[in-house]
Amino acid sequence: MASVAIYLNFQGNAEEAINHYKKVFGTEFSNPLVRFKDAPSNPAAPPLPEADQNKVAHVALPIPGGVQIMAADMLESMGQKLIAGNNFTIYLSPDTTEEADKLYSGLSEGGTDGIAPHDEFWGYWGSCKDRFGISWMFNILKQTW
């Protein structure tokens, strides 16, 4: 079933933040918290520094209204830097790859930083920043995180 979530980025304190939100909303994570060390290594990428291994790669927390807050740490070792304005993304999980492609096509038109939806180890994923500066992520999971 299609869904929408708000994806939050943090500069190293995602776990602290999401645990705070968990306490505030009185809910439990939708799936176990995933750390960067849990993801398969990419032989084309440099190894992840030890200090980043336990950072949050993904976590999801339901909040009232059928919405989820999702979160991850941005890693300076991967060239990521949190700047006010890039610390959130609207996360769309359509029902089909065709729908993801259509949404990407419309939202990326005139925008920047587009990565067309494609297969990844966790599912069908892509992202873009629209012409109004809003970040969007498209994701259809193969498995539950």
Q: Does domain 94-145 have CATH number 3.10.20.30?
A: no
Please tell me the CATH code under which domain 1-40+52-91 is placed.
3.10.180.10
**Type of residue numbered 114:** G
Helices (H) then strands (E): counts for the chain: 2, 8
User: Band of the pLDDT at 115, cuts 50, 70, 90?
Assistant: very high
CATH 3.10.180.10 placement within the chain:
1-40+52-91
pLDDT at 123: 93
> Does the pLDDT value for residue 116 go beyond 90?
yes
pLDDT at 114: 92
User: Band of the pLDDT at 66, cuts 50, 70, 90?
Assistant: confident
CATH 3.30.720.110 placement within the chain:
94-145
pTM of the entire predicted model: 0.70
The CA-atom distances, in angstroms, between 11 and each of 81, 85, 111 are: 7, 13, 25
pLDDT at 56: 96
